[in-house]
A and B are shown apart, each in its own frame.
Chain A
Amino acid sequence: MVGRRFFAAALRTLHGDPLMALGAVLLIMFLLAGALGPLLPIGDPTAIGVGPRLSPPSQALPLGTDELGRSNLPRVVGGILVTFYLAGFAVLLTAVVGVFIGLLAAYFGGYVDGLVARLTDVMYAFPAIILGLLVSSIIGPGTFAVVIVITAATLPLFIRVVRSVALSVAAREFVTAAEVAGASPLRIMVVHLLPNVAGAAIVQLTYALSIGMLIESALSFLGLGAQPPHPSLGSLLQQGATYLTIAPWLVFPPGIILSLAILSVNLLGDGIRDAIDPLKGRSLK
Chain B
Amino acid sequence: MTALLVAEDLTIDYITPRGTVRALDGATLTLEPGTSLGLVGESGSGKTTLGMAIGRLLPSYARRVGGDLSIDGRSVFALDNDGITTLRRDRLGFVFQSPMAALDPTMRIGRQVSFSLGDRARGDDVFTLLRKVGLADVEHVARAYPHELSGGMAQRVVIGMAIARRPSLIVADEPTASLDASIRDQILDLLMALKEEAGAAFILLSHEMSVVARYCDMIAVMYGGRVVEHGPSADVLNQPTHPYTRALLEAAPGKERAGQRLSPIPGVPPVLSGPSTGCSFAPRCRWAEDLCHRTRPMARDVAGRITVCHRAEAVAEACDDNAFAEN
Contact = CB atoms under 8 A, between A and B. Distances in A.
A177 B89 contact: no
Given A177-B158, A195-B107, A182 B88 contact: yes
24 contacts: A173-B101, A173-B102, A174-B103, A176-B57, A176-B96, A176-B102, A177-B96, A177-B103, A177-B116, A178-B104, A178-B115, A179-B57, A180-B92, A180-B93, A180-B94, A181-B164, A181-B165, A182-B85, A182-B88, A182-B90, A182-B118, A192-B104, A192-B107, A195-B106
Nearest to B116: A181
A196 B106 contact: yes
A177 B94 contact: yes
B96 A183 contact: no
Interface string A176-202: 111111111000000110011010000
A174 B94 contact: no
The secondary-structure label for the interface of chain A is helix
A173 B96 contact: yes
Interface residues of A, number: 19
A73 to B, nearest CB: 46
B126 to A, nearest CB: 14
Given A180-B88, A181-B89, 4 more contacts: A173-B101, A176-B96, A180-B93, A195-B106
A180 B102 contact: no
Contacts of A172: 101
A110 interface: yes
Nearest to A174: B104
Interface string B157-190: 0100110110000000000000000000000000
Contact of A176 (B94, B107, B164): B94
A233 B97 CA distance: 56
Contacts of A173: 96-98, 101-102
Given A173-B101, A196-B104, A196-B105, A183 B115 contact: yes
A109 interface: yes
B86 interface: yes
B55 interface: yes
A110 B94 contact: no
A172 B116 CA distance: 17
B300 to A, nearest CB: 35
Interface residues of B, number: 30
A200 to B, nearest CB: 12
Contact of B60 (A109, A176, A195, A198): A109
Nearest to B88: A180
Interface of B: 55, 57, 60, 85-86, 88-90, 92-94, 96-98, 101-107, 112, 115-116, 118, 158, 161-162, 164-165
A106 to B, nearest CB: 11
Contacts of A182: 85-86, 88-90, 118
B60 A177 contact: no
Given A172-B101, A173-B102, A195-B106, A180 B60 contact: no
B290 to A, nearest CB: 44
Nearest first, the 5 closest Cβ-Cβ pairs linking A and B are A182-B89, A195-B106, A173-B102, A173-B101, A173-B96
A109 B92 CA distance: 25
Given A180-B57, A180-B93, A174 B88 contact: no
Nearest to B57: A176
A179 B98 contact: no
By CB atoms of chain A within 10 A, which of B90, B97, B161 has the most? B161
A192 B105 CA distance: 9
B109 to A, nearest CB: 12
Contacts of B116: 177, 181
Nearest to B86: A182
A191 B106 CA distance: 9
A110 B60 contact: yes
A182 B117 CA distance: 10
A191 B98 CA distance: 21
Contact of A174 (B93, B102, B162): B102
Contacts of B90: 182
Given A109-B60, A195-B106, A196-B105, A180 B98 contact: no
B98 to A, nearest CB: 7
A203 to B, nearest CB: 16
Contacts of A177: 94, 96, 102-103, 116, 158, 161
A227 B86 CA distance: 58
A184 B106 CA distance: 19
A241 to B, nearest CB: 48
B146 to A, nearest CB: 9
